[in-house]
Chains A and B, each alone.
Chain A
């Protein structure tokens, strides 16, 4: 079965995004004509290195960094692993990592397995979140010890969009000589970030979350932060990440970063307004619909709504009939048998966790699409509730 992109209403941008046409255009010549290796001595290769430098500058500009602080990687997951494992090797005398219970699997599973990686030397504190998905700063401060090597806390949560006070947290860790990493794959391009004014040591970016292609990521490494490479090899990225550069993707990412900077205002006004209209419409026209996550302290594009007493996969597949794309935190959609770890950490009751739907918008969404979704959703939920054995009991 093939569904054309012209027909879909794509509201799953926290999963991945459309490659911007401008990004694709700028990449094509580097896949076809300019195939030289940027490390080569000849002009044919050297000109590719220049294009990469331009992309590096554009990437640095989007997050208020210096070009020398940008390391291109293959994905967000690689960036996360590089940062955390670097800190652990930097501090062999320490034994403690602090993270949260709501991290993306890229950080969560790494930290869960840290004890094994380090022959049971390291252990992890996973910070609890409040019911609105936010973090308690005092609890965070109390978790830090003299043995803490690194703190890894996401900038914004992929499921709820809730934003964590990572800038404040990094100030706190800096005072205590602890490194700070943030998985910012959902935040970069959606909210303004200026790393010059923060104490953040490491920051991860994923290209395909901001309209660049899949297979390209970035690790920001603050100048002066001790660093141990993850991929050892050639001198690429100043010896910080071996492996021949993914040239076209890097150049595409540079363009995507320029576009994101230019569209930052639109993201926080027009896209936010669309999201708010969608969310308000769902919460007011559908009974027993609940918002998951803090209403304000949140990305402008994300809305996570639970429809009580119905199951998420069933909702998604009905939406799919109308080519509406979104995600769910239900057990059945994940292939596991338990609902999302994020919603469980927030204490969302099972009646609601299984029926959670995440809508995540982008600049490519229109008001007509939002209206269409608002027109279809009440009947979908009503149909499923009519066959739910729990619905009548809770009327």
Chain B
């Protein structure tokens, strides 16, 4: 069981400002249902650039709900300029602290605020421009570098606690370690103005694999009385099951490697490895 402060409990059991502002001036959507938490923040800004109202809708655990509730309380009456400077640590401190594994909930609040302000001002969100390092949770290098800098993080575990990066399959651990070393020694690239090719998130990858199987591979195999089903995608490992006349066919291994794997590598990702489910 997590040790939540009284403030967290209070804001979780009786959250403030739940809902959505109609005709909001700024809307920020972050997170996804697959990731386990998501927040929609809506704000109203008056002609003096003061946030007059803030509401939230959150899918997530107690600390996600409490962070959202606290954030909206802090925002109401705040100057937009001050809101731009609000950090995840400000939210966590206002709650009397969060368990270290839950710090990412406060980070989500801050990201939603940034997204809502960007929506209002028409600016482009700099953080999403980076290279996706953690494919499981879609976290970019820019987000990680900022979390490390602002919260003086010292380990990969702390990065995971604050950004969720590395909390899924764990394959990006090496990259996180590199980023940490680069950032702490001040060798990281500057936060803005870099453009790199975006890497696929896990969800995008799975969708694409599914698409290629359904659209191309399945119809071809069906011509020969065979069939294929996608079982699992774990990092670059794709597990499929061959059905119909493919199952038990002597050349099924060849079909798998020479046809299925080749097609998926061509159309989705060069590094994919296809295996048969047994």
- Please report A residues at the B interface, Cβ cutoff 8 Å: 125, 128, 139, 142-143, 309-314, 317-318, 321, 330-333, 335-339, 350-351, 354, 386-390
Contact = CB atoms under 8 A, between A and B. Distances in A.
Given A128-B231, A337-B36, A387 B61 contact: no
B36 A336 contact: no
A387 B168 contact: no
A128 B277 contact: yes
Name the 6 nearest CB pairs between A and B, nearest first: A337-B167, A332-B61, A313-B61, A389-B57, A389-B40, A350-B34
Interface of B: 2, 12-13, 15, 18-19, 29, 33-40, 56-62, 64-65, 101-102, 136-137, 160, 164, 167-168, 231-232, 277-278
Given A311-B36, A311-B37, A388 B168 contact: no
A158 to B, nearest CB: 19
A311 B19 CA distance: 17
Contacts of A389: 29, 38-40, 57-59
8 contacts: A128-B277, A143-B278, A314-B12, A335-B101, A387-B57, A389-B29, A389-B38, A389-B59
A314 B15 CA distance: 12
Contact of A354 (B2, B36, B164, B232): B36
A317 B58 contact: no
B32 to A, nearest CB: 8
Contacts of B137: 337
A309 B40 CA distance: 14
Contacts of B34: 350
A310 B37 CA distance: 9
Given A309-B33, A321-B13, A337 B160 contact: yes
A336 B167 contact: yes
B4 to A, nearest CB: 8
Contacts of A387: 15, 18-19, 56-58, 65
**Majority SS of interface residues in chain B?**
mixed
Contact of A314 (B19, B60, B136, B167): B60
Nearest to B231: A128
Contacts of B37: 311, 332
Contact of B61 (A321, A330, A350): A330
Nearest to B57: A389
A297 to B, nearest CB: 22
A162 to B, nearest CB: 19
Given A128-B231, A143-B278, A321-B13, A314 B62 contact: yes
Nearest to A355: B59
Contacts of A336: 167
A390 B59 contact: yes
Contacts of B19: 387
A337 B36 CA distance: 8
A312 B36 CA distance: 10
Contacts of A386: 18
Nearest to B102: A332
Given A337-B36, A339-B36, 20 more contacts: A139-B278, A142-B278, A143-B278, A311-B61, A311-B64, A312-B61, A313-B2, A314-B60, A314-B64, A314-B65, A317-B12, A330-B61, A332-B61, A333-B61, A335-B101, A338-B167, A351-B33, A354-B33, A387-B56, A389-B59
Contacts of A313: 2, 61-62
A390 B65 CA distance: 14
A332 B36 contact: yes
Contacts of B39: 389
A128 B208 CA distance: 22
A317 B13 CA distance: 9
Contacts of B231: 128
A42 to B, nearest CB: 46
